[in-house]
């Protein structure tokens, strides 16, 4: 954030409200409207396959935004994000399967369970830091997934729980377009929630905690409370994403929430770039689309059938390579690249580099 160039040609701010405004210039407003119009028009032109891809990106975006809030801004590492998604998905699945609850009950319940788990995941953070905290969330991931698996086998849903399409006001929520708009709305809302949290008191507190806990508490920030708050909000959002995933797929199974999913979410925020909401979105899109991109490339290769069964292995390998590449070569992630491209055009025709030291 620190090396962001001013976009307007001059500094016209006269009060603090302008300083934290979400939309600062007219160009930004125009861009936003155009982008939104494109997103809304997209399902009317895209095929079912691309629609599904976009929907998956939105789902991943909710999860990665929540993890970015926790890790990228509050500095609390979580390697157990898939556990939270699983908790949300299972809450939704159990409520609708066993109690016939409507989606309006199931989603808030999933978020509430997520918030509760957030406290459980967050409590170790009051004592542990860094590595040890990451390990404790990793362990909790296994516990949550085990509970889900236990429920599946004990209740006889050993292959997974199927969920009927939810009915809202007499309409069945079914089909690609409907879910595209639902998840677009949820993703947009998550983005707005994160942006608002970050530009207010809580966001400043989290940044201070991330920078230095002792200094943060010396500044009068209640470190424990704000850490827990970060965990609660992040976990509630992740659980909500899990519940939406369950409804969208119509199916919950514990296999979907492996450790690899947690790693994927961590990869999203690394690839996107730590400490940037834009990065969370870019990372979610990148990680979601990468397997499909690889599949498309491999189908172009001669003798494509021969590679069909090694596809998932290629995915794994490519995914690992990309993650390592970003960690070593571009720790700022995609959002860092995006910012550099922007700066290039802002400064054009001059080829001035950002002042050294601006990049942390």
Partner 1 sequence: MQLAVNIVVLSAIYALIACGYVLIYRVSRVLNLAHGELMMLGAYLLVATASSFGGNPVLAIAAAVVLSLVVGGLVYVLLMRKMTGEMALAAVLATVALGVLLRGVMVLIWSAQQRYPGQDLGLPNMALALPGGARISIFAALLVLATALSYAGLFAFLRFGDWGIRMRAAGQNPLLAAQRGINLHAIYALAWGLSTLTGSIAGMLIALDSGLTNTMVIIGLKAFPAALVGGLDSLLGALVGALVIATAEVFSIQYIDPLLSDVVPFLVLIAMLIVRPWGLFGTREELDRV
Binding site for partner 1 (CB under 8 A): 77, 79, 124, 127-132, 134-136, 138-140, 142-143, 146, 149-150, 153, 259-260, 263, 266-267, 270, 310, 312-321, 323-324, 327-328, 331
Q: Which residues, including other chains, have CB under 8 Å from residue 186's CB and lie 6 or more apart?
A: 58, 62, 240, 241, 244
The residue among 263, 310, 269 whose CA lies nearest residue 286 is 269
CB burial string 317-349: b at 16+ within 10 A, e below: eebeebbeebeeeeebbbbbebbeeebeeeeee
The residue among 110, 81, 126 whose CA lies nearest residue 226 is 126
Q: What is the largest CA-CA distance in the chain?
A: 67
Six-digit token string for 11? 């500094």
Give me the half-sphere count of Cα atoms (radius 13 Å) on the Cβ side of residue 251. Answer: 7
Kindly state the smallest distance separating residue 344's Cβ from partner 1, in Å: 26
Kindly state the smallest distance separating residue 319's Cβ from partner 1, in Å: 6
| Nearer to partner 1 (CB atom), residue 88 or residue 148 | 148
Kindly state the smallest distance separating residue 229's Cβ from partner 1, in Å: 21
Is residue 106 within 8 A of residue 167, CB to CB? The reply is no
Is residue 119 within 8 A of residue 228, CB to CB? The reply is yes
| Nearer to partner 1 (CB atom), residue 198 or residue 261 | 261
Kindly state the smallest distance separating residue 132's Cβ from partner 1, in Å: 5
| Nearer to partner 1 (CB atom), residue 175 or residue 331 | 331
| Nearer to partner 1 (CB atom), residue 121 or residue 247 | 121
Kindly state the smallest distance separating residue 275's Cβ from partner 1, in Å: 13
| Nearer to partner 1 (CB atom), residue 189 or residue 317 | 317
Kindly state the smallest distance separating residue 263's Cβ from partner 1, in Å: 6
| Nearer to partner 1 (CB atom), residue 154 or residue 300 | 154
């Amino acid at each position: 954030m620190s090396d962001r160039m001013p976009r307007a040609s001059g500094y016209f701010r006269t009060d603090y409200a302008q300083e934290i405004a979400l939309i600062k210039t007219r160009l930004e407003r125009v861009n936003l409207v155009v982008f939104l119009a494109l997103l809304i028009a997209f399902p009317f032109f895209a095929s079912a396959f691309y629609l599904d891809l976009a929907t998956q990106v939105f789902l991943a975006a909710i999860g990665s935004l929540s993890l970015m809030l926790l890790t990228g801004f509050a500095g609390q590492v979580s390697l157990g994000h898939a556990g939270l998604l699983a908790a949300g998905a299972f809450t939704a699945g159990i409520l609708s399967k066993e109690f016939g609850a409507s989606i309006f009950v199931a989603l808030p319940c999933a978020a509430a369970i997520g918030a509760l788990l957030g406290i459980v995941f967050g409590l170790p953070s009051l004592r542990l830091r860094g590595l040890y905290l990451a390990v404790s969330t990793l362990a909790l991931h296994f516990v949550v997934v085990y509970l889900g698996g236990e429920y599946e086998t004990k209740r006889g849903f050993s292959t997974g729980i199927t969920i009927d399409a939810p009915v809202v006001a007499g309409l069945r929520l079914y089909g690609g377009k409907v879910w595209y708009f639902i998840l677009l709305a949820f993703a947009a809302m998550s983005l707005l929630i994160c942006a608002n949290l970050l530009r207010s008191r809580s966001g400043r507190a989290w940044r201070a905690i991330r920078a230095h806990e002792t200094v943060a508490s010396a500044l009068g920030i209640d470190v424990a409370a704000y850490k827990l708050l970060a965990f609660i909000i992040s976990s509630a959002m992740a659980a909500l994403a899990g519940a939406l995933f369950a409804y969208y797929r119509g199916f919950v199974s514990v296999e979907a929430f492996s450790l690899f999913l947690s790693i994927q979410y961590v990869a999203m925020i690394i690839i996107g770039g730590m400490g940037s909401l834009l990065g969370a979105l870019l990372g979610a899109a990148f990680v979601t689309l990468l397997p499909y991109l690889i599949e498309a490339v491999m189908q172009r290769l001669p003798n494509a059938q021969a590679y069909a069964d090694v596809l998932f292995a290629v995915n794994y390998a490519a995914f690992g390579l990309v993650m390592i590449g970003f960690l070593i070569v571009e720790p700022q992630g995609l959002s860092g690249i995006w910012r550099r491209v922007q700066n290039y055009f802002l400064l054009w025709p001059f080829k001035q580099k950002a002042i050294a030291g601006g990049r942390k």
